[in-house]
Structure 1
Amino acid sequence: MAFGGFNQGGGQSPMNEINMVPLIDVMLVLLIVFMITAPLLTHGVKIDLPSASSEPNVEKPETVTLAMDADGRLFWNDLPIEESELESRLALAATAKPQPELHLRADRETRYQRIAEVMSAAREAGVEKMGFITVPAQ
């Protein structure tokens, strides 16, 4: 008969591979279920919303440009200023409402130490927003 025999030596070894067929069947069923239900999830309720013509008032703060050339001279909005005026102008800009953004422009030959000193003076004066202006590569 096919049920087994009494000999102990010639039997088959147990199967050590995973049967993938049931896993593939479940995956295909889930794929079909998701393909059917996905369009139903994007359905929305159409309602007529009221329209308003008011726009929010957005005050754009002014910008202050502080430029430095290679010789260490300072320019406030393209007008030359003395070193002694810098702290008072930065303090005045820091107390303005809304506070202006400070844009730093430096010549290519300007020493980094000079730029760091100006940035430190701006931070001590209370300037919150500071950025660098660069020339894009062409």
Structure 2
Amino acid sequence: MALSFARPDSAGGNTPQDAPMADMNTTPLIDVMLVLLIMFIITIPIQTHSVGIDLPQTPKELLPPPIDTVKNRVGIDAQGVIRWNGAAVDRLTLRRYLAASLRLTVEPELQFQPDAAARYVVVDEVLADIRRAGVKKLGFIGNERYASF
């Protein structure tokens, strides 16, 4: 905060134009406010929602594994209809099918194929159901078209 005062004239009096200037310097206050604003913006937590899925990482040099005799396919079409091996099911039936497939002696591979136009909410809910069921063998189908990127 800085104050500036004018010098009195030679007669010792102050004229209105020579009156003391008592304006407050607001530049430091603005600087402090900007720094505080930037600090608050940086400390705002980023809102994220995700379902963590551990996918196997395999080198491209290896040949694909032999084809399994038992595979189940879960698909979601553009209208949000969930399909188990081609048949339309609801989420409760899907959970029952997942639990039944996990009770087998050898866990079958689960292939997940959502349509590109399917709503993210439906895909996220189905992935959460798959994760809650405890599926270990999960593969995504249809991503081959993005391999060139």
2:115 corresponds, among 107, 119, 126, to 107
Aligned to 1:28: none
Report the aligned-residue RMSD.
2.3
1:131 aligned partner: 139
Note the C-alpha offset of 1:135.
5.7
* Contact persistence 2:74–2:84 (CA under 8 A): yes
Structure of greater Rg: 1
Are 1:71 and 2:87 counterparts?
no
Whether the 8 Å contact between 1:61 and 1:101 is mirrored in structure 2 is no
- Give the percent of matched residue pairs that are identical in Structure 1 and Structure 2: 30
Aligned to 1:93: 101
Please give the alpha-carbon distance, in whole angstroms, between the structure 1 residues aligned to 2:131 and 2:87.
Answer: 22
Q: Report what 2:91 is aligned to.
A: 83
Q: CA deviation at 1:84?
A: 2.4
Give a deviation string over 1:27-61, Cα, whole Å, max 9, x none.
Answer: xxxxxxxxxxxxxxxxxxxxxxxxxxxxxxx9945
Task: Provide the TM-score with structure 1 as the length reference.
Answer: 0.52
Q: Match of 2:117, SS?
A: coil
Task: Please identify runs of 4+ aligned residues in structure 1 that moved more than 6 A.
Answer: none
**Which ranges in structure 1 are unaligned for 5 or more consecutive residues?**
1-57
Q: What TM-score results when the alignment is normalised by the length of structure 2?
A: 0.48
Partner Cα distance (1:81, 1:96) in 2:
21
Kindly indicate whether the alpha-carbon contact (under 8 Å) linking 1:68 and 1:110 is maintained by their aligned counterparts in 2.
yes
